[in-house]
């Protein structure tokens, strides 16, 4: 009697969608009272919004929801609207990262900001950090890539933090994104796929050169 292999659950499958990337990363460790408020909420908690940036992201979200209907539109109109949507993405990312840079210069809200090499997956992110964070610690995470228009604003939860061998005061922290909605998850996965394809194209071009 043969047994079929069990298909991995959706959360487990997301681990396969993973890539090393360089992003503009902004994160803030939530104080205990803010973390407790998140734990008590019955609905998916929403992170603080950033005015115009979040309004643009909201517009983009509604536009993305119409993508199915867009396939029925005349090709020229569909192409025009996709370019328009891309403009919204780029503008939102630019404003978000510009705002984050102001926070860094002001030292505002204990936020840590900068360009960071990360390991990004559809379920979370891992990166180096100078202090160890306890599992269960909540973070407000915002990250983006301006040239592609990718921007993510969400709460994360630390699932692991370990010291990096051979490096003083260096730790590797893994953060999951438990509160992403379907649209946000799709945007994250699309960014990962786009980056993978770009790296493959660059590698092929390098071999030819």
In DSSP terms, 163 is beta-bridged to: 171
Tell me, what's the pLDDT at 55?
Answer: 61
Angle, vertex CA 19, rays to CA 150 and CA 104, nearest 5: 50
Tell me, what's the pLDDT at 184?
Answer: 85
Tell me, what's the pLDDT at 70?
Answer: 67
Residue 91 DSSP symbol: H
Q: Which helix (H) or strand (E) holds 158?
A: strand 150-163
- 133, 29 Cβ separation under 8 angstroms: yes
In DSSP terms, 6 is beta-bridged to: none
Q: Whole-angstrom Cα distance, residue 117 to residue 98?
A: 19
- 160, 66 Cβ separation under 8 angstroms: no
How much is the pTM? 0.67
Tell me, what's the pLDDT at 2?
Answer: 43
H-only helix segments in 29-155: 32-40, 52-64, 67-70, 75-106
φ/ψ region of 129 (left if φ > 0, alpha if ψ in -120 to 50, else beta) reads beta
Tell me, what's the pLDDT at 54?
Answer: 60
Tell me, what's the pLDDT at 107?
Answer: 43
Tell me, what's the pLDDT at 207?
Answer: 72
Tell me, what's the pLDDT at 66?
Answer: 66
For domain 11-38+49-208, the question of CATH label 3.30.365.10 is answered with: no
52-64 and 75-106 helices, crossing angle to 10°:
150
Give CA separation, 87 vs 51, 53, 75, 100, in Å.
18, 13, 19, 20
Per-residue pLDDT of the chain (209 residues; tens, 9 = 90+): 444 444 445 555 555 578 999 998 889 899 999 999 888 875 667 776 655 556 666 666 666 666 666 667 777 776 766 667 666 666 666 666 565 555 554 344 556 778 889 999 999 999 999 889 999 999 999 888 877 778 888 999 999 999 987 766 689 999 999 999 888 888 899 899 988 888 888 888 877 76
SS3 content of the chain, % helix, strand, coil (to 5): 45, 25, 30
Tell me, what's the pLDDT at 75?
Answer: 77
Alpha-carbon torsion (104, 107, 113, 115), positive or negative: positive
């Amino acid at each position: 009697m043969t047994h079929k292999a069990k298909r991995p659950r959706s959360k487990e499958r997301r681990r396969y969608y993973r890539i090393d990337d360089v992003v503009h990363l902004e994160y803030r460790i939530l104080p205990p009272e803010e973390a407790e408020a998140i734990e008590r909420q019955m609905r998916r908690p929403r992170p603080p919004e950033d005015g115009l940036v979040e309004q643009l992201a909201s517009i983009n979200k509604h536009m993305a929801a119409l993508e199915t209907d867009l396939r029925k539109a005349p090709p020229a109109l569909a192409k025009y609207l996709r370019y328009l949507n891309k403009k919204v993405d780029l503008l939102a990312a630019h404003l978000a990262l510009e705002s984050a840079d102001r926070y860094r210069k002001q030292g505002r809200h204990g936020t840590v900001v900068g360009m960071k090499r990360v390991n990004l997956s559809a379920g979370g992110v891992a990166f180096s950090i100078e202090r160890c964070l306890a599992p269960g610690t909540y973070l407000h995470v915002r990250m983006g890539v301006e040239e592609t228009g990718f921007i993510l604003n969400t709460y994360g939860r630390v699932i692991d933090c370990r010291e990096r061998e051979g490096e003083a005061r260096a730790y590797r922290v893994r953060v999951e994104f438990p509160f992403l909605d379907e649209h946000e998850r799709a945007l994250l996965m699309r960014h990962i796929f786009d980056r993978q394809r770009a790296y493959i194209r660059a590698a092929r071009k390098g071999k030819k050169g």
